[in-house]
Amino acid sequence: MSTPFRDDIVFQETDDVGIIIFNRPKDLNAVNLHMIFSIGGILEDFEKFKSLVIVKSVVPKVFSAGGDIVRVTELVKLKDKTCLYYPRYGYKMIHSIGTMKIPFVALNDGLTMGGGAGISMLSKYFVCTENTDFSMPEVRMGHFADVCSSYFLARLDNHLGFYLALTGARLKGYDNVLAGIATHFCPSEKIAELEVALLNNPQEADAIIKSFSAVPENANFSLTPHLEKIERIFSSETVEEILAKLEQDGSKWAKTTIATIRYMCPLSLKATLRQLRIAKTMSLEQCIQNEYILANSFFQGENFVEGKPISRRGIVIIFP
């Protein structure tokens, strides 16, 4: 097995399998331009010459904290057009993952936000573990739910994707399977064994992944008590209607959700809701085109710069 090293991203390969390894531990694998260019450049070769692609992380309990928002914000403040490379080449990479003719497997054993979530959602196999912690926090940052999440989230049952995108709510572990986001659950202690099995017999990826899949004890969906309300409230036409219905509901959950939404960037909320509503009938390519236009607009406006992330070492920490 060869192991060419490229700083924050590592590529390995066997005769039949290409492996992408996030290797930016100090920044929780926040995806920068170099990583986007590198992944985009190698996917075409992997698709031509391999039977399977695996993406994983070297960082314990972290898959990817999303895009390198702090770096993008710096570029936007400087009015440096390099910031526009992120959507241009990022969506090209996302499209390649979402349309690969060979299986693309995300072994997702930890924190998964933003861009990391996009890579996982568009993988043919999104294998989560008890450590998987999924969220789309962009509306808190003066941005919108991007990385082609509109295509995926708009199609979840009960308008659950609308709720996740507008609140940045987190889903942990098996909840990701029950929500329809992850395709399979594998205990963290078995992930390395699953990877070896895939490397040894990539042509049988579907059967292998199913054989490692499990249902953990007490696998109850944490959002079950709220699903009826989520469907009724987040199917609304406007953000104002959503807030009005939450006010009318008056429950503890509704009050918490109101406080969360009111903390978000208003323009980001409206743009995200609109794009999710129209994405229901759009193809993957149409969603990418729509989001690409939105991203270019947001990166040249003030809301993105004035968002509310707490930054550290190039990462966005969204939890107060």
Catalytic residue chosen out of the listed positions 18, 110, 114, 115: 115
Residue 307 falls in the annotated catalytic set: no
Residue 66 falls in the annotated catalytic set: no
Contact criterion met (CB below 8 Å) for 138 and 299: no
Q: Cα–Cα distances in Å, from 194 out to 54, 97, 125, 204?
A: 11, 21, 13, 12
For 181, the token pair is 């986001």
Question: Measured between alpha carbons, how far is 79 from 76 in angstroms, rounded to an integer?
Answer: 5
Catalytic residue chosen out of the listed positions 67, 98, 142, 161: 67
For 64, the token pair is 């990817």
Contact criterion met (CB below 8 Å) for 162 and 234: yes
Catalytic residue chosen out of the listed positions 138, 175, 195, 291: 138
The string over 168-184, giving b where at least 16 C-beta atoms fall within 10 Å of a residue's C-beta and e elsewhere, is: bbbbebbbbbbbebbbb
Question: Measured between alpha carbons, how far is 205 from 172 in angstroms, rounded to an integer?
Answer: 25
Residue 138 falls in the annotated catalytic set: yes
Catalytic residue chosen out of the listed positions 146, 175, 195, 291: 146
**52-57 vs 62-64, strand pairing mode:** unpaired
CA atoms within 13 A on the CB side of 234: 28
Residue 98 falls in the annotated catalytic set: no
The alpha carbon dihedral of 75, 78, 82, 83 has a sign of positive
3-state helix, strand, coil in the chain (%, to 5): 50, 15, 30
The residues assigned a catalytic role are 67, 115, 138, 146
